[in-house]
Every structure is written in structure tokens, then in C-alpha cells.
């Protein structure tokens, strides 16, 4: 019998025992199926939450608490997906298998990673259970092509375009879901909701679809590769470049909206809203490009404005004495206007480095000003190490599922390994940066750029040439702590030297979404929702992709890959709320059967970096 056959049989045997254990079969002990140091991540399938439970005893308690209601069954290796195989994950060998199953509510997919225990038996190291679809409410796409009124040949009535315009005008109705923001987050969730036949409207303040990318600085291209970045349902064409230019992506957003028939209002400012608990609806104010206002009453508002939305302008008292131009990085477009002049760029993340390089390439003298230690990694191949899975052969859908099956603790371990490899690969560059006084950082506990992104949304640079220019002395370097004050001519250093400048660019990032929530919905809602993004006491991003303590308010943000993956599960939750299978308020269900694993049991979880 071949090795592949043995793996298939071993996985099938584990799944059969697992199902028997969940059903209460006394002949099977769930404890014997898991390692003591194991992890179960559930994405809606059994708990209606996105959560991770660590440790065998806590996992067994959680499974037993939820199995009675969810009634999971039919666990089997999925023959339509990547076959079980031996892999290396987080530095350890494991058998990794994708399986399928059903619950009382829907159909699910999962990933189990098995390793040998001390007794030689295969036990689960990690387990993912994820809801794929609700029974009776499956996605429309791929099951039957639309054949309704808007596609009929009515020679005396409205044609397809007439009906599309009427649907998108919302002249006689309000949407069920209002999505605020038309970037990758907004498009992904709107596309998912459309396939679940939920009336959804996207509003965005920019005058043209895609402007949230199109209006960024001239030289911008994505820093991760094309195969990772597809949007739901419509993969990028095979002739696209490895790194997508911003304007190409912006054009794709327009085509995406048209092709998937998404309702989208450009030039529309979301001015805020209030929630009516009795009606279960929002009253939101929208200001159109022509100055008119519209009040709408959606049941759900999805904030898709990015990890952060309000530019962070640091309080630098003497900056008002500077005689030149001051711009935040969000206002910067192109360096051509500064040819032959001098500039200071404050901030050493991706935007700061890219803007400094763009200004230098336009013929200006540039000094990059560092405020805090920064992680530097060459864009290729070092920065691409975490995406190696997407080059291994599994389909995009399988890669997404496998990625999602990695719990926080293993993700941190993996990224420590990636970071050490990247440091070795980039040693010449990093040594050069340290020689010129650039302060390097490799993330909390060495977890690298990905966890910098997940915890603070920045603090790193994917080197596409600016670091080399710094080492060569072609772009200057100064430490912010060495600036005594800004004066009319530029920045006066504590040494007495003045860095002359005609332009200061504040590449100082953005404020967290909490500030935007407070601005749009008020202090009470902001306090009720609490922190957004980053990790708190749990092992999931706070208030992202799931129900929040504020009924009807949802958040989606992140990379194109994150938005593609998690938009599915956000949409399923909204659909379940509309079907009254799920309360809109997460806190309302925290004390019900969905939280039979008690708060005290959460104390068993290992500490998580915040």
C-alpha cells in the first residue's frame, strides 16, 4: 500500500472517530484525538463565532458544548479538494487534510493537521471547522445563471440597463445593507451579499470607482504578488503583472462593479447614523455629490473604510514656523513639482520610503526622517515568504482555507521563522542600514511584518530600492529625536545644522477605526464596540468580520486576501441575521448556548500579544 493511501486511510479513520466522539459515542474519547497542546478554530460552523480555543481540555469542553445544537455530521475527506498530504507547518511535519461536513444549519469545510502522539497514534494538532453555506440559502453564483426579468426580451418595456439604473437609484426603497467604503473590503462584502440575494448599496466619497487606489501617489504598486490578491468570484486575468500597479487595480474595481452588478454610489459622503433598537434599523445620513442629502434606514451598516481612516497628524508645535509646504502622505501625488528642490519625509513605513524614493527620482534632494525603529524586508523574495503556499499548487480556495486554519499561536511561530529567514537573506542590506544609523526592528518577539500589520497596521517597509538609496547616501537619513525645531528654512537639528526643505511630507499613518466610529456614531456606540483591529485577550482580530456589541454594525478591512477570505463569513452572518437564525448583537448571545464554554475556561488560554 502506497504512502498516499496510508495517509488517506489514517485521515478517514480520525474523522470517523471524531464524528463518533461528537455524537456522544462512549466508545470514543475526544480527549484521545487531540494533543495536549492543540488548537481548534471555529468559523461560524459550530459556535456562530470566529474564535480559537487552545488546549485539549478546553477544546473538548467547547466541542461538547456546541455539538448538541449544531449537530455536526458527515465528516469525510473532500474528494473535490487538495488530497491529504504531508506538509511542514510552523516548523513541524504534519499530515494536512481538507474535509467536509454538515451541521443543522449548513454545510462546512475544515482542515485537520495530524501528528503522532507519544503512543504512536495520530492526534489533531490543529483543527478548523468553517461554515461554507446555509442550507436552502446557497450562493446564487454557479448554481443557475440568472434568467429573470432584467434579462428578458421585452420590446416595449425597460431593458437590462434601465432596470439596473432603477435598482441602483434606490428611489423607492432602502437597502438592507449599507456598505461604507468602495475599496477591496467594500467590493468583497457587497459581492458576497449579492450572491446571497441581500439588497446591498456601496457608498464612497470619491467621484469615481477605484479612486481610493487611483488617487494615491504616482509610483504605487502592490507589494505582494498577484496570485494572492484576487477578489471573490473574478480572478485577475493570467496576463497581469506580478505586482499590480495602482491604476490597473483601480480600473479592475470599475470592471468588477459592472460585471457583478453591484449597486454603488460615488461622490457620496456617509455623515453618520443612529440605531433604533425597537425597529432594528439605522437612520443614516448621506450627502451626495450635488449637495443633496438622503436619509436611509438599512438594517445593517458595514464599515469598509480600511484598517484606519483618519490621517494621523502629529502635534509638532514648531511645524507651524516652517515656511514651505506641509502634506500628509494621503495628500501626496507626484514628485515632479519638487524637481531641484528639497524635501523632508517624516516616517519610515512603506509610504514614507516610497514617497522619498519618488521625490528623489524626480530630481529633488530628500531626507527621510525616522521616528521609531522600523522593520525592513526586501520585497522579493523575502517579503513573499509567507505567501509560499499560494505557489505550491492547491487552488485559491484551498489555499485560503489552509491559511485560515492556522491559529494565532502557530501563525506567530511561522512568522518568527519567516523573519529569521528574511534576516539571513537580507543581511547585506540590513548591515548597511545599521552602519548609517537606521534603527531596525523585527516585530514583537521577532514575529515580523505580518504581525506588525495585524497589531498596529504599519511600522515596516518592503524595500523596492529606497533602502539601497539610503545606504548609498543618495537619500539622506535623520532621526526625529535630533530635530530641535522646525524653522522657516526647514528643520534645525540639535547640532545646530539646518536641513533645508521646501516640502515636508508627514508619512505618519492613520488613526484607528475607533476614532472614525466615534466621529460617525458618537461616544456611546464607540464605547460599546470597543477596540477594533489588533489582538486583545482572545486570539482573533477584535470586532473584525463578525458581530459586534453594537447591533447591525460590522467591520471589514485588511489586504485583498483578507477581504476575499473573510467577506464570505461576514456575509453568512448577515444572511443568518436576516433569517432570524442569529441575533444581530453578539453580546446578546454571549450568555446563551453559544457561550457554554465559560469565561473562566478562557483563562486556560495562553497569553496573546496585543
> Is 342 inside a domain boundary?
yes
Domain boundary among 461, 489, 508: 508
Contacts of 399 (CB under 8 A, 6+ apart): 389, 390, 392
- pLDDT category, 149, cuts 50, 70, 90? low
> Is 606 inside a domain boundary?
no
> Is 256 inside a domain boundary?
yes
Q: Tell me the CA distances in angstroms from 481 to 17, 28, 478, 491, one per residue in order.
A: 61, 63, 9, 12
Say what the pLDDT of residue 593 is: 34
**Pairing outcome for strands 263-265 and 269-276:** unpaired
Domain boundary among 508, 540, 566: 508
- For residues 364 and 262, state if they share a domain: no
Closest C-alpha among 403, 328, 416 to residue 558:
403
Mean pLDDT of all residues in 37-47: 97
- For residues 291 and 325, state if they share a domain: no
> Is 541 inside a domain boundary?
yes
Say what the pLDDT of residue 393 is: 86
Say what the pLDDT of residue 441 is: 95
User: Which range (141-150, 210-219, 225-234, 562-571) has the least confidence?
Assistant: 141-150
Q: Are 90 and 415 in contact (CB under 8 A)?
A: no
Say what the pLDDT of residue 471 is: 98
Closest C-alpha among 534, 559, 468 to residue 224:
559
Closest C-alpha among 573, 592, 594 to residue 584:
573
Residue 114 has pLDDT above 80, yes or no: yes
* Alpha-carbon gap, residue 173 to 414, rounded angstroms: 49
Closest C-alpha among 600, 567, 601 to residue 139:
567
Residue 16 has pLDDT above 90, yes or no: yes
Q: What angle do CA 113, 117, 121 make, to 5 degrees?
A: 85
> Is 390 inside a domain boundary?
yes
CATH classification at residue 440: 3.50.50.60
How many CA within 13 A on the CB side of residue 556?
33
Phi-psi region of 156 (alpha: psi -120 to 50; beta: other; left: phi over 0): alpha
Radius of gyration in angstroms for the set of CA atoms belonging to the chain, rounded to a whole number: 26
3-state secondary structure of 285: strand
Mean pLDDT of all residues in 62-75: 96
Residue 586 has pLDDT above 90, yes or no: no
- For residues 474 and 518, state if they share a domain: no
Residue 599 has pLDDT above 80, yes or no: no
pLDDT (tens digit per residue) in 349-382: 999 999 999 999 999 999 999 999 999 999 999 9
Question: How high is the mean pLDDT of the chain?
Answer: 92
- pLDDT category, 603, cuts 50, 70, 90? very low
* Alpha-carbon gap, residue 15 to 75, rounded angstroms: 6
- For residues 331 and 292, state if they share a domain: no
> Is 228 inside a domain boundary?
yes
Element (H, E) at 113: strand 106-116
Q: State the residue range of the domain holding 91.
A: 3-137
pLDDT (tens digit per residue) in 511-533: 888 999 999 999 999 999 999 99
CATH classification at residue 12: 3.10.450.50
Neighbours of 587 (CB within 10 A): 14
User: Which range (99-113, 184-198, 543-557, 593-607) has the least confidence?
Assistant: 593-607
Contacts of 107 (CB under 8 A, 6+ apart): 100, 101, 131, 132, 133, 135
> Is 143 inside a domain boundary?
no
Residue 402 has pLDDT above 70, yes or no: yes
Q: What are phi and psi of 205, to 5 degrees?
A: -75, -20
* Alpha-carbon gap, residue 178 to 200, rounded angstroms: 6
Closest C-alpha among 180, 192, 163 to residue 256:
192
- For residues 234 and 344, state if they share a domain: no
Say what the pLDDT of residue 152 is: 64
- For residues 240 and 360, state if they share a domain: no
Domain boundary among 120, 137, 154: 137
When divided into structural domains, the chain yields a total of 3
Query: What's the residue count for the chain?
Result: 610
* Alpha-carbon gap, residue 105 to 218, rounded angstroms: 48
- For residues 362 and 476, state if they share a domain: yes
Say what the pLDDT of residue 306 is: 80
- For residues 42 and 191, state if they share a domain: no
Mean pLDDT of all residues in 282-287: 98
Contacts of 543 (CB under 8 A, 6+ apart): 529, 530, 531, 532, 533, 555
- pLDDT category, 585, cuts 50, 70, 90? confident
- pLDDT category, 28, cuts 50, 70, 90? confident
* Alpha-carbon gap, residue 579 to 587, rounded angstroms: 19
- For residues 498 and 515, state if they share a domain: no
* Alpha-carbon gap, residue 165 to 159, rounded angstroms: 10
- For residues 11 and 27, state if they share a domain: yes
- pLDDT category, 596, cuts 50, 70, 90? very low
Strand partners, 478: 369
Mean pLDDT of all residues in 240-261: 97
- For residues 362 and 454, state if they share a domain: yes
* CB-neighbour burial class of residue 171 (10 A; exposed 0-12, middle 13-18, buried 19+): exposed
* CB-neighbour burial class of residue 230 (10 A; exposed 0-12, middle 13-18, buried 19+): middle
Q: Are 77 and 11 in contact (CB under 8 A)?
A: yes
Residue 1 has pLDDT above 70, yes or no: no
Mean pLDDT of all residues in 278-292: 96
Mean pLDDT of all residues in 194-222: 94
- For residues 182 and 298, state if they share a domain: yes
Amino acid at each position: 500500500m502506497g504512502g498516499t493511501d496510508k495517509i488517506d486511510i489514517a485521515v478517514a479513520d480520525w474523522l470517523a472517530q471524531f464524528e463518533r466522539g461528537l455524537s456522544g459515542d462512549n466508545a470514543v474519547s475526544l480527549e484521545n484525538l487531540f494533543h495536549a497542546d492543540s488548537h481548534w478554530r471555529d468559523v461560524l460552523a459550530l459556535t456562530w463565532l470566529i474564535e480559537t480555543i487552545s488546549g485539549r481540555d478546553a477544546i473538548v469542553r467547547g466541542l461538547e458544548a456546541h455539538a448538541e445544537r449544531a449537530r455536526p455530521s458527515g465528516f469525510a475527506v473532500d474528494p473535490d479538494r487538495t488530497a491529504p498530504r504531508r506538509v511542514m507547518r510552523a516548523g513541524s511535519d504534519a499530515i494536512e487534510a481538507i474535509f467536509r461536513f454538515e451541521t443543522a444549519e449548513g454545510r462546512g469545510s475544515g482542515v485537520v493537521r495530524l501528528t503522532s502522539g507519544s503512543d504512536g497514534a495520530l492526534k489533531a494538532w490543529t483543527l478548523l471547522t468553517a461554515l461554507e453555506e446555509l442550507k436552502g440559502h446557497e450562493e446564487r453564483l454557479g448554481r443557475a445563471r440568472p434568467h429573470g426579468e432584467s434579462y428578458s426580451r421585452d420590446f416595449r418595456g425597460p431593458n437590462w440597463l434601465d432596470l439596473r439604473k432603477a435598482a441602483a437609484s434606490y428611489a423607492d426603497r432602502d437597502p438592507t445593507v449599507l456598505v461604507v467604503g468602495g475599496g477591496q473590503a467594500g467590493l468583497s462584502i457587497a459581492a458576497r451579499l449579492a450572491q446571497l440575494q441581500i439588497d446591498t448599496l456601496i457608498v464612497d466619497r470619491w467621484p469615481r470607482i477605484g479612486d481610493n487606489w487611483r488617487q494615491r501617489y504616482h509610483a504605487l504598486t502592490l507589494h505582494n504578488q498577484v496570485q494572492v490578491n484576487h477578489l471573490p468570484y473574478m480572478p485577475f486575468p493570467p496576463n497581469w503583472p506580478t505586482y499590480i500597479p495602482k491604476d490597473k487595480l483601480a480600473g479592475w474595481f470599475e470592471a468588477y462593479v459592472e460585471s457583478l452588478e453591484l449597486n454603488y454610489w460615488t461622490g457620496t459622503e456617509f455623515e453618520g447614523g443612529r440605531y433604533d433598537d425597537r425597529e432594528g434599523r439605522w437612520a443614516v445620513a448621506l450627502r451626495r455629490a450635488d449637495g443633496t442629502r438622503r436619509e436611509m434606514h438599512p438594517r445593517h451598516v458595514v464599515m469598509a473604510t480600511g484598517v484606519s481612516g483618519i490621517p494621523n497628524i502629529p502635534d509638532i508645535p514648531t511645524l507651524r514656523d516652517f515656511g514651505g509646504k506641509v502634506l500628509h502622505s494621503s495628500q501626496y501625488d507626484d514628485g515632479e513639482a519638487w524637481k531641484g528642490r528639497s524635501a523632508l519625509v517624516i516616517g519610515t513605513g512603506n509610504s514614507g520610503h516610497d514617497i522619498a524614493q519618488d521625490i528623489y527620482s524626480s530630481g529633488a534632494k530628500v531626507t527621510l526622517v525616522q521616528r521609531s525603529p522600523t522593520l525592513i524586508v526586501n520585497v522579493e523574495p523575502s517579503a513573499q515568504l509567507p505567501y509560499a503556499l499560494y505557489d505550491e499548487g492547491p487552488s485559491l480556495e484551498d489555499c485560503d482555507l489552509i491559511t485560515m486554519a492556522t491559529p494565532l499561536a502557530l501563525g506567530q511561530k511561522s512568522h518568527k521563522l519567516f523573519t529569521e529567514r528574511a534576516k539571513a537573506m537580507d543581511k547585506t542590506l540590513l548591515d548597511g542600514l545599521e552602519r548609517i544609523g537606521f534603527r531596525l526592528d523585527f516585530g514583537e518577539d521577532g514575529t515580523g511584518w505580518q504581525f506588525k500589520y495585524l497589531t498596529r497596521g504599519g511600522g515596516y517597509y518592503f524595500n523596492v530600492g529606497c533602502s539601497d538609496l539610503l545606504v548609498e547616501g543618495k537619500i539622506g537619513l535623520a532621526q526625529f529625536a535630533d530635530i530641535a525645531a522646525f524653522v522657516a528654512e526647514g528643520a534645525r537639528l540639535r547640532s545646530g545644522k539646518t536641513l533645508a526643505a521646501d516640502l515636508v511630507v508627514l508619512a505618519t499613518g492613520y488613526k484607528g477605526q475607533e476614532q472614525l466610529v466615534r466621529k460617525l456614531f458618537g461616544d456611546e456606540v464607540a464605547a460599546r464596540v470597543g477596540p477594533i483591529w489588533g489582538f486583545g485577550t482572545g486570539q482573533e482580530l477584535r470586532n473584525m468580520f463578525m458581530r459586534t456589541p453594537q447591533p447591525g454594525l460590522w467591520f471589514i478591512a485588511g489586504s485583498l486576501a483578507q477581504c476575499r477570505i473573510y467577506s464570505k463569513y461576514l456575509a453568512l452572518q448577515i444572511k443568518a441575521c436576516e433569517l432570524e437564525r442569529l441575533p444581530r448583537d453578539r453580546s446578546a448571545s454571549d450568555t446563551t448556548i453559544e457561550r457554554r464554554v465559560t469565561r473562566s475556561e478562557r483563562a486556560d488560554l495562553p497569553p496573546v500579544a496585543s
